[in-house]
Amino acid sequence: MSDSLAGKRIVIIGGSGVLGAEFARHLKAVGADLRLLARNPSAIPSDLADLMQAQVDVRDREALSSALSAVGAGGVDGIINAAGVVAFGALGEVPASVVEELFQTNALGTVNVLACGAEVVSEGGFIASLTGVAADMTVMNMSAYCASKSAAHSAMAIGARELRSKKITVLDVRAPHTESGLTERALWGTAPKMPPGLEPSALVARVITALGNGEKDLPADSF
C-alpha cells in the first residue's frame, strides 16, 4: 500500500525526531515528494538532508501557516505530524511551565496542524497525527501528559468531522509505547519502568498501510 503514496507531496512535521525521520526514510524509498518541518532543522539526519525543509514550531500557528505555504506551494497531498513532548510526575510536582509546554506542543500544536493543514491539503488528501496511547489512558505520574494527549485526541476526532466536507482524511494514530527515545528526552521527571515498546519501523509501516487503505482511526490495539 505504500506504493500508493509514490509521487505524493507529503509534509512531515517533526522531521528531526526518530519517528519523523523514520516516516521520511520510508516514504522517500517509495518515491514520495517530501518536505520536512522541524523545530531544529540542523538536527535532521544527514541522510535526509537533500529533502526540502524549513524551521517551524507547531505552537506558533502563524509560523506554521507560513512554513506550510512555503514548502507546499500549490497544495500538498498529506501531512504527518510527529511533533510531541513528554513529562512525568505527579500533578503537584510538574512545574506549571512544563505543563504549559505539554499543552502548547501536544494539544495546541495538533489544533494548529489541523487548522493550517485544512488550508493546504488538497481534496482527497490526509492529515495524520501521532496522538499516542496516552490519549486513552489515566496513568499515575503522567496526568499532565495524558491530559495534553487526550485534548489532542478530541481535536482530531472533531477535525475529522469538520474536514469531511473537504474530503480530507484525518487519521488519529494512538500507537502503543514506541522505542522512539522520547521518554529519555522528557521535559521533566523520569519515565516509569515500561516493557519493550514497538519498533519505530513497525509503527511507520502500520500508519503507511492505514493511509493507503483510507483508515480514519488507529487505536493501540490495531498495532
Task: Evaluate whether residue 41 is within a structural domain.
Answer: yes
Task: Evaluate whether residue 223 is within a structural domain.
Answer: no
- pLDDT, position 115: 98
pTM for the full predicted model: 0.96
Task: Evaluate whether residue 167 is within a structural domain.
Answer: yes
Per-residue burial over 167-182, b = 16 or more CB atoms within 10 Å of its CB, e = otherwise: ebbbbbbbbbbbbbeb
Q: Is the pLDDT of residue 1 over 60?
A: no
Task: Evaluate whether residue 222 is within a structural domain.
Answer: no
Task: Evaluate whether residue 130 is within a structural domain.
Answer: yes
- pLDDT, position 2: 60
Task: Evaluate whether residue 185 is within a structural domain.
Answer: yes
Averaged pLDDT score across all residues of the chain: 95
How does pLDDT run across 52-90, given as a tens digit for each residue? 999 999 999 999 999 999 998 888 999 999 999 999 999
Q: Is the pLDDT of residue 106 over 60?
A: yes
User: Coil, strand or helix: which one is 111?
Assistant: helix
- pLDDT, position 4: 86
- pLDDT, position 74: 87
Domain containing 64: what range?
2-216
CATH number for the domain harbouring residue 13: 3.40.50.720
Task: Evaluate whether residue 221 is within a structural domain.
Answer: no
Q: Which helix (H) or strand (E) holds 52?
A: strand 52-55
Q: Are 81 and 156 in contact (CB under 8 A)?
A: no
Cell numbers describing residue 101: 509546554
Please count the structural domains in the chain. Answer: 1
* Helices (runs of H) and strands (runs of E) counted in the chain: 6, 7
Using CA atoms, how far apart are residues 36 and 80, in angstroms rounded to an integer? 10
How does pLDDT run across 129-183, given as a tens digit for each residue? 999 999 999 999 999 999 999 999 999 999 999 999 999 999 999 999 999 999 9
